[in-house]
């Protein structure tokens, strides 16, 4: 009979209603009994939050004075940009006129002032707090690479004013500070410098430490990432975060406090603080991302609520357990297909693009995920296939260009000295292409004691220029046989090249014939750089003849010769514009003046040493800049009587 009673619907419903009524009654009695205590607690919370709000307002106003000081100084800075040395007075004035600022600087983007080097950051700071003298420094080096620091990089990228995370600045203030950064913009809206002001956190230590609503309470200041800026335990300042402290003590409530403070909220949390039941009152400091928190033991203000708090906690934990079981079972059912998708994604990542995905029959987000993975499979498969084809094509082209370079270099003389048995002449040459193949050329040969030589520069670069170069060199060899006039050679070359020159390419040339017995030198300069004569008395002269048209432009053009007599010991330096027009990273040309200086300093060197010295000088000038043009040099040393020492 009793068994039937307890199973009946009426009994079960009655017990449920009775249980619910008992719970409600108990709750009402407990809350009514503690009503007066709650009023006291609410007053304590209100009072503490009032003190915190005043503290936050005071700190915020002090930070605002720093922001205002920098904002009002920008116009003076912009008026003095043309005189970077005068910026010292501006940042010194910023430090002198604001009691909170212990250092100020202007960090210009690297290379802004070319005469100041890569880094230029004038910085003024106090040597010993507000009672010290102002020290002026220029910051920036490999050890103090300020463009990589948060206070520089973040406002530059965000293009907005920024309070940095506190840090220890070894290169500037040499103490724990926070930096307020103001990006400065040019007329194009680009950031060219960061105007900064540094404040020492020690200025807030006493202010925050004095906030003690109760005798056994303490207050700390938190940065935007959770680091302690001030704390009753000085060892934790800048060495711990509220989250590391929460992790070390396994305190989830303290972690919750940290998240709330970082979110800029104002509130109160009841938590266990290292074994002591406590309350945390926190609020945000406007505009800085910082927040302040006061921790008070519960026994001071909430001692009478201990028993009630335990019951609330038990109910909360039981509810959390039930909620956890419910949520866990629900979520487990929903995410079961995702486990299969995860396994399929790992297989796809190994290259198995044909893996079959799990079947999804629902029409929800899981189905969208299935369709996205299917699309990814097809896209990756297509991309890998196209990538393989592209790679194979690129490798084939590189191989063909390498072979073309070998063929091209095989067409010009490369063995030096070329005439070891002759004592009347010595030569040395070098050709460096800007790409795999190029359009520069040189060539020479001796026929009946006459030295025939040519140097040229085809318009353009790459494969078209190399083909044009090959044609030009072949014509020179063909047309130079038993001809004593460079002009006749160039005229014939021009006629042949101009005929059917649909690509409208041209070549600048110098063709010369040197009589090794008499020293008579005949030259024809078709729009090329003037050759340089190095006389036996070490005088450097640019041989500037009458200008003549490039080869390949007009097939009716008739070229003329220029004739000079080389003295014993003279040298003739021929080159292409890849020498004088070599650029460095600052777009500065190597130039004829620098070339003349190098040649003047090496007049007594042999041809090989002279050419190598010029090439090294060009390399030192260009450094890391990309090679912009082919480079070719041909140096001829005429010594008819005295043999060259080998």
Closest by Cα among 588, 549, 595 to 574:
595
The whole-number pLDDT of residue 173 equals 52
> Which of 104, 47, 31 has its CA nearest to residue 71?
104
Mean pLDDT is highest, among 214-218, 287-291, 441-445, 466-470, for: 441-445
Residues in the chain: 646
Rounded Cα gap, residues 442 and 528, in angstroms = 13
Which of 429-443, 446-460, 500-514 has the least mean pLDDT?
429-443
Report the share of the chain in percent with pLDDT over 70: 78
CA 290 – CA 258 distance, rounded (Å): 11
Q: Is the pLDDT of residue 455 over 60?
A: yes
- Pairing verdict, β 540-542 and 532-534: antiparallel
Calculate mean pLDDT across residues 457-475: 82
Kindly state the average pLDDT of the residues 138-153.
88
DSSP 8-class letter at 117: -
Residues with Cβ within 8 Å of 503's Cβ and at least 6 positions away in sequence, in order, are: 464
Supply 163's token pair.
Answer: 């309070």
Cα angle value 543/545/547 (rounded, 5°): 135
The predicted model scores a pTM of: 0.43
Percent of the chain, pLDDT > 90? 27
Predicted local confidence at residue 290, as pLDDT = 85
Please state, rounded to an integer, the average pLDDT across all residues of the chain: 81
Query: Distance (Å, rounded) from C-alpha 427 to C-alpha 417?
Result: 6
Confidence of residue 571 (pLDDT cuts 50, 70, 90): very high
CA–CA gap between residue 94 and residue 91 (Å, rounded): 5
Residue 568 has pLDDT above 50, yes or no: yes
Summarize pLDDT for 69-111 with one digit per residue, the tens. Answer: 999 989 988 888 889 888 999 999 998 888 888 889 999 999 8
pLDDT score at 360:
66
DSSP codes joined into one string, 68-80: HHHHHHHHHHHHT
Q: Tell me the three state secondary structure of residue 199.
A: strand
Position 407 confidence tier, pLDDT thresholds 50, 70, 90 = low
Residues linked to residue 456 through DSSP beta bridges, in sequence order: 441, 509
Q: What pLDDT does residue 574 have?
A: 96
Rounded to an integer, what distance in angstroms lies between the CA atom of residue 35 and that of residue 356?
Answer: 65
Helices (DSSP H) in 350-457: which residue ranges? 365-410
Tokens of 263: 């979110």
DSSP run (H or E) holding 90: helix 87-96
Cα 576 from chain centroid (whole Å) = 36
């Amino acid at each position: 009979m009793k068994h039937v009673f307890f199973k009946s619907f009426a009994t079960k419903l009655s017990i449920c209603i009775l249980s619910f009524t008992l719970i409600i009654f108990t709750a009402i009695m407990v809350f009514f009994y503690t009503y007066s205590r709650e009023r006291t607690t609410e007053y304590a919370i209100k009072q503490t939050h009032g003190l915190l709000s005043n503290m936050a307002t005071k700190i915020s106003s002090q930070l605002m004075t720093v922001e205002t000081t920098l904002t009002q100084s920008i116009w003076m800075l912009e008026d003095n940009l043309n005189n970077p040395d005068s910026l010292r007075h501006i940042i010194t004035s910023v430090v002198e006129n604001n009691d909170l600022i212990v250092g100020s600087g202007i960090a210009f983007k690297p290379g802004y002032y070319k005469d100041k080097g890569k880094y230029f950051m004038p910085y003024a700071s106090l040597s010993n707090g507000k009672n010290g003298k102002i020290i002026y420094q220029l910051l920036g080096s490999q050890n103090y690479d300020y463009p990589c620091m948060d206070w520089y990089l973040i406002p530059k990228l965000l293009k907005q004013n920024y309070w940095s995370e506190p840090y220890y600045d070894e290169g500037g203030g040499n103490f724990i500070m926070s930096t307020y950064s103001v990006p400065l913009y040019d007329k194009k809206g680009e950031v060219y410098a960061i105007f900064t002001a540094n404040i020492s956190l020690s200025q807030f230590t006493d202010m925050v430490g004095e906030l003690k609503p109760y005798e056994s309470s303490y207050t700390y200041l938190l940065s935007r990432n959770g680091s302690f800026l001030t704390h009753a335990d000085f060892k934790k300042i800048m060495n711990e975060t509220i989250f590391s402290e929460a992790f070390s003590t396994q305190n989830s409530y303290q972690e919750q406090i940290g998240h709330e403070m970082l979110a800029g909220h104002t509130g109160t949390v009841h938590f266990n603080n290292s074994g002591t039941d406590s309350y945390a009152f926190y609020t945000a400091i406007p505009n800085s991302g910082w927040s302040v928190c006061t921790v008070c033991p519960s026994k001071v203000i909430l001692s009478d609520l201990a028993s009630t708090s335990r019951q609330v906690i038990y109910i909360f934990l039981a509810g959390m357990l039930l909620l956890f079981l419910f949520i866990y079972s629900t979520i487990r059912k929903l995410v079961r297909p995702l486990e299969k998708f995860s396994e399929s994604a790992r297989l796809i990542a190994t290259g198995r693009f044909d893996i079959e995905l799990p079947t999804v029959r629902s029409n929800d987000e899981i189905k969208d995920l299935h369709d996205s993975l299917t699309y990814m499979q097809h896209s990756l498969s297509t991309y890998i296939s196209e990538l393989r084809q592209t790679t194979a094509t690129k490798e084939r082209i590189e191989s063909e260009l390498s072979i073309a370079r070998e063929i091209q270099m095989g067409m010009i003389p490369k063995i030096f000295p070329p005439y070891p048995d002759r004592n009347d002449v010595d030569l040395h040459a070098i050709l460096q292409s800007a790409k795999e193949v190029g359009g520069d050329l040189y060539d020479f040969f001796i026929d009946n004691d006459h030295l025939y030589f040519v140097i040229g520069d085809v318009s353009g670069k790459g494969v078209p220029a190399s083909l044009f170069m090959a044609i030009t060199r072949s014509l020179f060899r063909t047309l130079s046989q038993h001809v004593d006039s460079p002009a006749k050679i160039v005229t014939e070359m021009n006629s042949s090249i101009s005929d059917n020159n649909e690509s409208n390419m041209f070549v600048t040339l110098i063709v010369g014939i040197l009589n090794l017995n008499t020293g008579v030198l005949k030259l024809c300069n078709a729009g090329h750089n003037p050759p340089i004569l190095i006389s036996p008395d070490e005088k450097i002269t640019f041989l500037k003849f009458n200008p003549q048209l490039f080869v390949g432009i007009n097939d009716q053009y008739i070229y003329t010769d220029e004739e000079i007599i080389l003295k014993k010991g003279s040298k003739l330096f021929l080159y292409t514009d890849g020498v004088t027009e070599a650029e460095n990273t600052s777009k500065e040309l190597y130039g004829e003046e620098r070339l003349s200086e190098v040649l003047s300093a090496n007049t007594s060197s042999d041809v090989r040493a002279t050419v190598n010295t010029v090439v090294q000088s060009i390399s030192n000038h260009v450094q890391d800049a990309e090679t912009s043009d082919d480079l070719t040099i041909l140096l001829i040393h005429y010594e008819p009587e005295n043999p060259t020492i080998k």
